[in-house]
Amino acid sequence: MSTAPTADFVPVPLPDFVEHAPGEMQARAQAFYDGIRRRHTVREFASRPVPRALIETCLAAAGTAPSGANHQPWHFSVIGNAAMKARIRTAAEEEERAFYGGRAGAEWLAALRPLGTDPDKPFLEVAPWLICVFGARKSRSADGVVRKNYYVPESVSIATGFLIAALHHAGLATLTHTPAPMSFLNEICGRPDVEKPYILLVAGYPAANAHIPRHATEKKSLSEIATFHE
């Protein structure tokens, strides 16, 4: 890639890369793994409040994610309002009843059995924060021009991964909830049709007696998930 400036392309020096001593790098990688491996999807939340500022900082971290053409095609609708949570629960449970009642099909329902999930979603009202993650087909850039976005699902998913990691790192539990279809979130959150809801992220403290399915503790080994060619 040329670093010669053009009218649009203005190179600036890499501003804040931190190089670590080689001997420290493995320890840092291990420390990150030791932290992130303690992340578990939780479906039983405490109603204990979580400060808005904590969610805001985690969202700021999510907003640093890479995205197609750096268009940052995401919007996070953050719901702490009890009436809105109740509306979301009612709408989600209606979809989930149809889903678990047969719309999912036998194979999908069989795949979910080890998770022990069902159409009842009390956590949508119990947890202090619901973060509806939207991806925009088009959006307004900093210069005020509305442009088409690229790699929207990939970009939104990467930002959501950052957000889940940030919330976990801060000491919160999350659930990546995906009622299907979830277009009801556009209306409840007041988002335009050009945006599609991708994930409803539930965030809060786990309930004191929270359980996880044993199935969720079975992670594939490194040799199953990676192949090296040296």
Residue whose structure tokens are 């095609």: 73
| Nearer residue to ligand IYR within complex by CB, 96 or 195 | 96
Cβ at position 2, least distance to ligand IYR in Å: 44
Cβ at position 97, least distance to ligand IYR in Å: 10
| Nearer residue to ligand IYR within complex by CB, 81 or 178 | 178
| Nearer residue to ligand IYR within complex by CB, 218 or 230 | 218
Cβ at position 177, least distance to ligand IYR in Å: 5
Residue whose structure tokens are 């793994």: 33
Point out which residues bind ligand IYR (CB under 6 A): 96, 99, 112, 115, 117, 177-180
Which residues 6+ apart lie within 8 Å of 132 measured at CB? Answer: 76, 77, 78, 79, 185, 189, 191, 197, 199, 200, 201
| Nearer residue to ligand IYR within complex by CB, 159 or 182 | 182
Cβ at position 59, least distance to ligand IYR in Å: 23
Cβ at position 107, least distance to ligand IYR in Å: 11
* Longest alpha-carbon distance in the chain: 60
Backbone phi and psi for residue 141, each to the nearest 5 degrees, phi listed first: -85, 180
Tokens of residue 74, six digits: 């995401």
Strands (E), the chain: 74-79, 129-136, 138-140, 146-148, 173-177, 195-204
| Nearer residue to ligand IYR within complex by CB, 137 or 215 | 215
- Measured between alpha carbons, how far is residue 125 from residues 20, 41, 57 in Å? 44, 17, 23
